[in-house]
Chain A
Amino acid sequence: MSPQEKIKVGIIGFGKRGILHASLVNINPEAEWKAACNPDEQSLTLMKNFYPNISFFSDKNEMLEKVNLNTIFICSPDNTHLPLVNQLIKKDMNIFVENPLAESFASSKQMVNLALDRKNIFSLGYYSPFKVLFQQAKILFENGILNEVKRYRASLHYTLPQSSHSYERIIMNRTSSFLYLIYWLFGPVKSLYAKASGRLTAVESVDSLVLDHSSGLMGLADLSWNRPGYPRPTVKISLEGTGGTLDISEDSLKLYLYKKRGGYDMGWTTIHRADLPSPSKFYLCEEGYYEGNSSFLKSCTGKKKSTVSWEDGLEIMRMIEAADLSIDSNREVLLNEVK
């Protein structure tokens, strides 16, 4: 594909995320949304009303056969990712998969192996690297603003509308996003210990994790899906260092320094989202989606490595697998035990 040529995009799975990606592709001058498929005929009829110029199919094979595409966004259920990738990779497609990479570590590993040595672009829907506050937090942490950091405490709280097993997919999605944020900020995890009332991504579960990073940093994380007052998934990370503390959330960073350091005064500094310039040109639903989507498309035109790789996604699935192993065996699990 020449750099001048538009990326021809198809969407598999046309629920909320499918609609979101289609819309973001549509406003990107480098790409052209051509087709979508979804097994539910009713919703296709509805969508044809809204997008009269797009080809909709209930069968993905028909879409792939009839429409000239070179890039696919997979937004269908997690357990469909591997079989789809198996098929798409033979057709020389660039592939973006909504998170998690697959429904299990084993499937994720197969996907990464399938993509090995391919020249196409393979990316994954984790959006933390595209949120300005998280970017700023990473810069502060990596520049040693807190001097020596020994530990962090992280939490993810969410109030599910009602307890139901149909939420397991959203819990898996949120858990893996949360773990990705930790992985992206603080680097790989060497070992972990998990305690939970069920499996890590069970609806009724209240989970606690102790994470040992390869860097020597230690973290405590807790996840709860039924805590009142959190209609939106809410992430908070508190870092404690010898030079001060840093509280990270999606709305603000709160820095407390024992001494003036790195251009910040001693005492409290609060940085809100509104205080930081946002590079995003378009805002849809939440900060980060446009940037994540356009970063992938840019990688496709330049054939350069995407910001979020499938290897990253595999590491997150390894953490989830290790957590479940730890819950079952009630012991600390080394990540390299999960193979």
Chain B
Amino acid sequence: MEKIDRIILGSNSFEGVGYLSRAQTRHYLEFFSKRENIIPIIEASFNLGIKSFMCSNNSNILSALEDFKNSSDLSILAVIPNAYEYARESTEKGVLGTILSRAKEIDLYRKVRMGLRALRKIQGIITKDLLTLLTNLMDFEMASFHPYNVTGVILHGQVTDLALSSDNREIFDVYQDIVRERYKVQPILATHNFGTLLPKLMEWKINMPILASFNKKGFIMKPSQKECEQLLEKTDYYIIAKKVLAGGRLNPEEAFPYLSDKNIGSFVLGVGSLSEAYHTLSIAKSTFLNL
């Protein structure tokens, strides 16, 4: 397995995703619509030694990365697909219509960067096998990350959980094969249902790092906090914890001691301001890296 850094900067706040209140979500949407508000946070994190960044191909984030002088030194964990934008668009166009219209929207520059004639390929996917279909969709999503040092590809939790509920092993096989063979990086699965996913992967003998919620409050730890903790204790899978602050309900001082002795390899930490970045990441470094 490719090495994954112990602490990873998350990007939910930059994408306007918050769990504390809709007022917070609105603030994030407004504040981080300007790339000049994202860059100092990535920079502060980088200067604190946090060199892994987990993000989707959100346009504000990509724009900030373009202007961040050390972006080539960042290790990017790309989250695909950008489920929030797909979900929003598919309200009007349907799932398939969204995929097709996305393909039509990409400009020539991107098509060249992608190294494929995306439109023709994506229009053709519906008659092809699962491998071709997923390969083309993933190429399309990954094109945005082309300039950066992508070290891992994370399948979005909503997609993982849909695939999990379809009980279709082939989707997971195909996904990890594409990521390993085509992009030559680490495939990772995000989930909101750790307690269902891990036993299923073990049954299928599929081993990939899992990105799942772990926090003192049991927030979105499914089917239950206790069952997730029991599985975590015994597993030899590499686990990356997210929602460690229980959607912002806990501060780092309250949240991190619960996590520090758990069988967790990495921690994703989202921050919503520069001061929060210094505070959260400094405590994370002293707790998880003993620095």
27 sample A-B contacts, Cβ–Cβ < 8 Å, listed by A number: A16-B87, A19-B95, A19-B162, A27-B164, A43-B94, A45-B126, A46-B125, A46-B126, A51-B166, A51-B168, A52-B170, A164-B92, A167-B92, A170-B91, A229-B26, A230-B26, A234-B22, A249-B22, A252-B20, A272-B20, A274-B249, A281-B222, A281-B224, A282-B196, A282-B223, A284-B158, A284-B192
Q: Which residues of A contact B89 (CB under 8 A)?
A: 161
Q: Does B218 contact A (CB under 8 A)?
A: yes
Whole-angstrom distance from the CB of A232 to the nearest CB of chain B?
8
Q: B162 is contacted by which of A40, A164, A284 (Cβ under 8 Å)?
A: A284
Given contacts A42-B126, A229-B30, A230-B26, contact A277 B218 (CB under 8 A): yes
A49 touches B130 (CB 8 A): yes
CB nearest to B94 among chain A residues: A15
CA distance A308 to B88 in the complex (A): 27
B21 touches A249 (CB 8 A): yes
Q: Does A124 contact B (CB under 8 A)?
A: no
CB nearest to A24 among chain B residues: B165
Give per-residue flags for B161-188: 1 if the beta carbon is below 8 A from chain A beta carbons, else 0.
Answer: 1111111101100000000000000000
A26 touches B222 (CB 8 A): no
Whole-angstrom distance from the CB of A196 to the nearest CB of chain B?
22
Q: Which residues of A contact B215 (CB under 8 A)?
A: 274
Whole-angstrom distance from the CB of A136 to the nearest CB of chain B?
15
Q: Which residues of B contact A234 (CB under 8 A)?
A: 22
Q: Which residues of B contact A285 (CB under 8 A)?
A: 87, 158
Q: Which residues of B contact A167 (CB under 8 A)?
A: 91-92
Q: A283 is contacted by which of B92, B161, B163, B250 (Cβ under 8 Å)?
A: B161
Q: B95 is contacted by which of A43, A230, A232, A281 (Cβ under 8 Å)?
A: A43
Q: Which residues of A contact B224 (CB under 8 A)?
A: 281
CA distance A251 to B193 in the complex (A): 20
Q: Does A231 contact B (CB under 8 A)?
A: yes
CA distance A219 to B217 in the complex (A): 35
A45 touches B158 (CB 8 A): no
Q: Does B246 contact A (CB under 8 A)?
A: yes
Q: Does B247 contact A (CB under 8 A)?
A: yes
Q: Does B260 contact A (CB under 8 A)?
A: no
Within 8 A of B (CB), among A209-234: 229-232, 234
A26 touches B165 (CB 8 A): yes
A284 touches B126 (CB 8 A): no
**Residue with the greatest number of chain A CB neighbours at <10 A, chosen from B88, B91, B246:** B91
What is the interface residue range for chain A against chain B?
35 or more
CB nearest to A45 among chain B residues: B126
Whole-angstrom distance from the CB of B250 to the nearest CB of chain A?
8
CA distance A130 to B84 in the complex (A): 23
Q: Does B90 contact A (CB under 8 A)?
A: yes
Known: A43-B95, A50-B163. 20 other contacts (CB 8 A): A16-B87, A23-B166, A45-B126, A46-B126, A49-B133, A164-B92, A166-B92, A229-B30, A230-B26, A231-B29, A236-B22, A249-B21, A250-B22, A272-B249, A274-B217, A274-B219, A277-B218, A282-B165, A282-B222, A284-B162
CA distance A280 to B192 in the complex (A): 12
Within 8 A of B (CB), among A20-63: 23-24, 26-27, 40, 42-43, 45-46, 49-52
Within 8 A of A (CB), among B1-32: 16, 19-22, 25-26, 29-30
Q: Does A151 contact B (CB under 8 A)?
A: no
CB nearest to B16 among chain A residues: A231
Q: Which residues of A contact B94 (CB under 8 A)?
A: 15-16, 40, 43
Q: Which residues of B contact A251 (CB under 8 A)?
A: 19-22
CA distance A73 to B90 in the complex (A): 20
Q: Does A298 contact B (CB under 8 A)?
A: no
CA distance A15 to B92 in the complex (A): 11
Within 8 A of A (CB), among B23-76: 25-26, 29-30
Whole-angstrom distance from the CB of B26 to the nearest CB of chain A?
4
Q: Does B206 contact A (CB under 8 A)?
A: no
Q: B223 is contacted by which of A23, A281, A284 (Cβ under 8 Å)?
A: A281
CB nearest to A162 among chain B residues: B92
Q: Which residues of B contact A249 (CB under 8 A)?
A: 21-22
Q: Does A303 contact B (CB under 8 A)?
A: no
